[in-house]
Structure 1
């Protein structure tokens, strides 16, 4: 979504994003404001923040660039994917964002990094390659089958599977012999259903082998915002030997759900030893405050600017 704003407004929000003295929650709101504003200036400011030392923030920068689907972000994302000094969760998100933008010119790079020694990066690029190849071949247009629409307006790393019952989709979701792309398709089909039964099936995915897969489960449960998923999200966050990428996504999902029980869980982990988990709890608590408030929008960078002018 692109909103009319002056270059000065974009720059003012951008300066908040790149300022390490601002709170992380304020910088997150500035980032999502820039995502909504769109355009080359917004992309430039988002790109400048990749020098930050917060892996969580950088992961979210890459996510937003992918969601914007603006090809001007491709060079920045390619650079981050190739930069092995960046944290795995940041490089993974850059790979996923390149798939989300959807230009087939990145296929060769994604194929190369499909063999990356960092498993989360390799698996992400494998899924992105499958997504681009699926699009090039015309998607599901030739199958004659029906899929449910995505009610969340997100750009997903895989299209939903054909419409089927929850038990059949659950079987596909949990079958670790299938390629991740096919399991992701079941995941997004279950998300689009959004019923309690679908949510519980998705929650079972938090026990699967791939950390990348488990983290994506956390993400979609946050989109659905169904309180039936709270116990499974809590259990994953509480597992201290769980991959931090998974714990972070489960924390943010609890913030999205926004119930009192979520608040108590997140308060408990906002001092976690793992920085990305601690920061995710801070951001999630800010999101939870928003969900339970009369604030007009979460991405309120422009409103905040008006207040200080």
Structure 2
């Protein structure tokens, strides 16, 4: 059983800018796993931080929790034009992930936002909510991943056909996303290489999502492509950040070299992503039972 005092202690770690970023991330994912109003409150408090990366992950976690109690703070973040585009984008995606149709009109207002990543995200979130309404009462297929995705996977299972849809920029973005998540669920080298081609096409939002999906898939065939995208200084920082985190999740020796090469990157969100990814690499290659170890750290005996 988790006490209110323990939730508060984990929350204090999250909101403390004096704590290492890795510790704050682990605290965040601990709160995500705990859920409930207390966790939402602590996560919401951290949106005043100056790290775009951290705030992006706050919004992501609130969406994955699928608790309508998070809607007000996510709407505030989406509306706040002082927030970085990658933070507002993630707030819009989180509102779609929660799945409550009450946010449809708000999301529609931002489908024409001047920030293209925000506009495209809200368009996808609207399509997701409409798809959920159209398929209400139908059993939802459970894939191998536990994430709440911006689009349901396509039913198509031919990798070649899915690759064509994924890479065809004339296709609606929602359909390309559905192909993306179907390829992820199929898995294997052929699917990983098909997805990796997406790192060279489409909008920054699309390429960012490709990086995220390759991190979930954790296939080493994607490593050279992710490393190349991370190294492209002209690439959108939100794409480079996601490629860094994917390399941390895949956790092969070549990933370590790429992450270390950009540990002092001039772009803050990339630099911080490499810091977090190196911590993830250590977790993936080490003996720890779980990454979200905020409670374990609290309960560990003091020497």
TM-score, structure 1 normalization: 0.96
The question of 1:217 aligning with 2:210 is answered: yes
The question of 1:35 aligning with 2:28 is answered: no
Deviations 1:60-119 (A, max 9, x none): 000000000000000000000000000000000000000000000000000000010000
Question: 1:98 aligned to 95, 98, 114, which one?
Answer: 95
- Structure 1 unpaired stretches of 5+: none
Q: Structure 1: which 4+ aligned runs deviate by more than 3 Å?
A: 139-142
Aligned-partner Cα distance in 1 for 2:201–2:107: 25
Distance change in 2, residues 1:308/1:48 (3 Å): farther
Question: 1:206 aligned to 194, 199, 203, which one?
Answer: 199
- Structure 2 unpaired stretches of 5+: none
State the 1:140 CA deviation: 10
Deviations 1:179-230 (A, max 9, x none): 1111000000000001110000000000113000000000000001000000
Q: Which residue of 1 aligns with 2:51?
A: 54
Aligned-partner Cα distance in 2 for 1:94–1:86: 10
How many residue pairs get matched? Answer: 302
Aligned-partner Cα distance in 2 for 1:163–1:176: 18
TM-score, structure 2 normalization: 0.97
State the 1:178 CA deviation: 1.2
Residues 217-236 of structure 1 aligned to structure 2 (within 5 Å): 217-236=210-229
Question: 1:136 aligned to 133, 138, 143, which one?
Answer: 133
Alpha-carbon RMSD: 1.4
Question: 1:74 aligned to 71, 74, 95, which one?
Answer: 71
Aligned-partner Cα distance in 2 for 1:97–1:141: 22
The question of 1:161 aligning with 2:154 is answered: yes
